[in-house]
């Protein structure tokens, strides 16, 4: 059985995410003539323009791959090798799956194709992100910006996508552009709800062994910790509280580490809406 932190498990998860994204594109978006988000939508618009002006049918796969490489070269110095590798696994397999998946129809209802296609696309991208990669394209820029600014950029990317759809509506079909907006909105909502890299939680840790607990936390994360002294009223015993803010995806590792040195520890976990000041975001590997 593959360990969830192993390279094989991550690659497998990214490939499954690529399958979801491919199904969303071929079985839903293309059937409804929608314009998906990001470089997928840009690639489809370029295909349309070349067919309109030059009568040329440019293959989707190579065009999509070239655009991703160009964007990657722009931010390559700021993102880790594992992230890049897993992202290109997603990109390559998405191109392959789109080419080999059979052409079939699940429904002719455009609204159903829009909603379920957007959901499937959001799940595919979310899975790639959870595995440590992405779906490529504008995700490269979004991940870079989010790492530097420590806040998500998905809704800014959605504004760019709306610009694509306004152009598509002006050039081709306003009705399908409006459906495409719904498709992209659903995808963005699914992504925002499932991607927890930029969701923060605060921990209040009551312990008798503050230094040992702090040392163990530092073994798994590098966030700052503040110590307070107090008194346990019930036993009239001196206690200590450690306060720290971590990314939500790090909570399980932090709690496991703490319980290794203090099995009687008390931990209170709260959601953090916003922070100001220095906060170390774990680098993208």
Predicted confidence at residue 3, as pLDDT, reads 57
**Quick one: residue 38, left, alpha or beta (phi over 0 = left, psi -120 to 50 = alpha)?**
left
Do 60 and 137 fall into the same domain?
Answer: yes
Do 213 and 171 fall into the same domain?
Answer: no
* pLDDT band at residue 112 using 50, 70 and 90 as cut-offs: very high
Predicted confidence at residue 103, as pLDDT, reads 80
User: Residues 131-138: what's their mean pLDDT?
Assistant: 78
pTM here?
Answer: 0.69
Is 205 within a domain?
A: yes
pLDDT at 114 over 60: yes
Do 125 and 50 fall into the same domain?
Answer: yes
| Domain finish residue from 170, 194, 218 | 194
Whether 249 contacts 284, CB under 8 Å:
no
Comparing CA positions, the residue from 139, 140, 173 lying closest to residue 158 is 139
Give the chain's mean pLDDT.
82
Whether 28 contacts 120, CB under 8 Å:
yes
Q: How many structural domains is the chain composed of?
A: 2
pLDDT at 120 over 70: yes
Do 174 and 204 fall into the same domain?
Answer: no
Do 178 and 243 fall into the same domain?
Answer: no
Do 183 and 224 fall into the same domain?
Answer: no
Q: What is the C-alpha separation between 94 and 36, in angstroms, rounded?
A: 14
Predicted confidence at residue 152, as pLDDT, reads 59
φ, ψ of residue 152 to 5 degrees: the values are -70, 155
Q: Report how far apart, in Å, the C-alpha atoms of 244 and of each of 146, 222, 260 are.
A: 21, 10, 18
Q: Which of 6-10, 144-148, 186-190, 250-254 has the lowest mean pLDDT?
A: 144-148
Comparing CA positions, the residue from 192, 190, 151 lying closest to residue 274 is 151
pLDDT at 249 over 90: no
Predicted confidence at residue 284, as pLDDT, reads 54
Predicted confidence at residue 195, as pLDDT, reads 65
Tokens 């490489």 sit at which residue? Answer: 69
Who has greater pLDDT, 148 or 164? 164
Q: What is the pLDDT of residues 68-94, one digit of tens each?
A: 888 877 766 667 778 878 888 888 898
Q: Report how far apart, in Å, the C-alpha atoms of 108 and of each of 40, 100, 125, 175 are.
A: 22, 22, 25, 16
3-state class of 34 per DSSP?
coil
pLDDT at 154 over 50: yes
pLDDT at 189 over 50: yes
Do 77 and 156 fall into the same domain?
Answer: yes
Query: Residue 95 sits in which domain range?
Result: 7-194
Do 250 and 186 fall into the same domain?
Answer: no
Q: What is the pLDDT of residues 12-42, one digit of tens each?
A: 999 999 999 999 988 998 888 888 777 878 8
Q: Edge-to-edge strand order for the sheet containing 237-247?
A: 226-232, 237-247, 200-207, 266-272
User: Residues 34-51: what's their mean pLDDT?
Assistant: 84
Percent of the chain past pLDDT 70, that is, above it, reads 86
Is 216 within a domain?
A: yes
């Amino acid at each position: 059985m593959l360990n969830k932190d192993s390279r094989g498990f991550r690659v497998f998860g990214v490939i499954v995410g690529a399958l979801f994204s491919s199904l969303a594109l071929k079985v839903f978006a293309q059937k409804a003539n929608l314009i998906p988000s990001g470089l997928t939508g840009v690639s489809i618009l370029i295909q349309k323009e070349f067919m309109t002006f030059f009568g040329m049918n440019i293959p989707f796969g190579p065009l999509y791959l070239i655009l991703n490489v160009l964007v990657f070269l722009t931010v390559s110095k700021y993102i880790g090798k594992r992230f890049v590798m897993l992202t290109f696994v997603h990109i390559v397999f998405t191109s392959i799956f789109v080419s080999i998946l059979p052409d079939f129809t699940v429904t002719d209802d455009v609204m159903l194709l829009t909603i379920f296609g957007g959901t499937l696309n959001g799940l595919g991208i979310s899975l790639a992100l959870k595995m440590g990669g992405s779906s490529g394209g504008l995700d490269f820029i979004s991940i870079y910006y989010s790492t530097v600014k420590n806040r998500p950029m998905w809704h800014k990317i959605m504004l760019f996508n709306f610009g694509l759809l306004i152009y598509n509506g002006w050039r081709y079909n306003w009705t399908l552009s409006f459906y495409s907006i719904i498709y992209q909105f659903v995808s963005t909502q699914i992504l925002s709800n499932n991607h927890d890299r930029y969701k923060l939680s605060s921990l209040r840790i009551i312990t008798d062994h503050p230094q040992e607990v702090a040392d163990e936390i530092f073994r798994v994360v590098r966030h700052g910790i503040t110590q307070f002294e107090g008194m346990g009223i019930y036993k009239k015993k001196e206690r200590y509280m450690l306060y720290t803010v971590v990314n939500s995806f790090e909570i399980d590792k932090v709690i496991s580490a703490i319980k290794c040195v203090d099995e009687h520890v008390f931990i209170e976990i709260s959601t953090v809406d916003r922070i100001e000041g220095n906060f170390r975001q774990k680098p993208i590997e």
